[in-house]
Structure 1
Amino acid sequence: MELASRIHRASFNERLPWLKGLHTPQEDHWFYENCIFPQCEVWAVCAPEMAGIIAFKADWVEQLYILPEFQGYGIGSALLKQAQQTFPHLQLWTFQRNIQAQKFYENHGFIAIRETDGRDNEEKEPDILFEWRKSGF
């Protein structure tokens, strides 16, 4: 949980610097311990240390984060593929300003189905809901 929360924070801070410092490391650890691990299937890739994590459950990708120095090597694709092999339908949110994440998900068959002004998320940041369905579902 400690490593997962550190990967989350490092990736979040790298890709979303305008939201840096939103939570303390202790709050991130609490979130993973009390919300993510009890409710989700969590997978990690080690290269050799833990380099990326995905947390998902039926219909949702809750978290997908790769350490910045390991991005671009297929780790996120491998983790997302695990979720896509497990469930025939997935949704996830990403911020509108996170263009790299949008392109990543679109390249993996997700389509944007809704945009918001961010008033309903903790960060108050405009976001996009993406959806993926396995062919035939």
Structure 2
Amino acid sequence: MASLWLEASCEAHDFVPDSFWHAQRSAMQEAYLPSAENYIYEQEGDIKGFVSLHEATLAALFVMPMSQNQGIGRSLLDHAKSLRPVLEVHVYRKNVGAVRFYEANGFVIVGESEDTHTGEPEWFMRFG
């Protein structure tokens, strides 16, 4: 999952240097993913995407770049929504595709902040 996270993060967040994501890989693999509820989307034995939940927080939702726009993200999000009546997520404002995806799936922007690690502005979105 950490490899998928790294590839998808570099692709989706091209406004953040790739070196930042590479520096975060071990923390993602050793701390963040093990502390979350993770659900994997597999196709023919290959991991195509995953969603990670931490209480009511949608901590991660990533789909392999070559597998995007095939309904995988929506399937993962629908599964997360079936488990949690309320979900919250922070999304970089510059990640317009993700913002539109969440809005199309019932999330609304309820606030804004700045990511403490990257300094990038982000939206706070909520479902339910």
TM-score (norm 1): 0.86
Distance 1:51 1:67 in 2: 5
Q: Alpha-carbon deviations, 1:98-119, whole Å to 9, x = none?
A: 0000000001100000012x2x
Distance 1:71 1:59 in 2: 25
Which of residues 42, 67, 71 is equivalent to 1:70?
67
Distance 2:122 2:27 in 1: 24
Q: Which moved more, 1:64-73 or 1:41-50?
A: 41-50
Aligned CA RMSD, in angstroms, stands at: 1.4
* 4+ runs deviating over 6 angstroms: none
**2:3 counterpart residue number:** 6
TM-score (norm 2): 0.91
- Structure 2: segments with no counterpart, 5+ residues: none
Which residue type is aligned with residue 22 of structure 1?
F
Which of residues 110, 122, 125 is equivalent to 2:117?
122
SS of aligned partner of 2:90: strand
Which residue type is aligned with residue 46 of structure 1?
E
Alignment: residue pair count: 126
Tell me if the contact between 2:88 and 2:126 (Cα under 8 Å) persists in the aligned partners.
yes
Percent same amino acid among aligned pairs?
21
Tell me if the contact between 2:10 and 2:21 (Cα under 8 Å) persists in the aligned partners.
no
**2:40 counterpart residue number:** 44
Alpha-carbon offset, residue 33 of structure 1: 2.3
Q: Alpha-carbon deviations, 1:74-110, whole Å to 9, x = none?
A: 1111111111000111100000000000000001100
Alpha-carbon offset, residue 34 of structure 1: 1.8
Distance 1:95 1:7 in 2: 19
> Which aligned pairs between 1:54-65 and structure 2 lie closer than 5 A?
54-65=51-62
**1:29 counterpart residue number:** 26
Distance 1:30 1:122 in 2: 13
Distance 1:88 1:32 in 2: 27
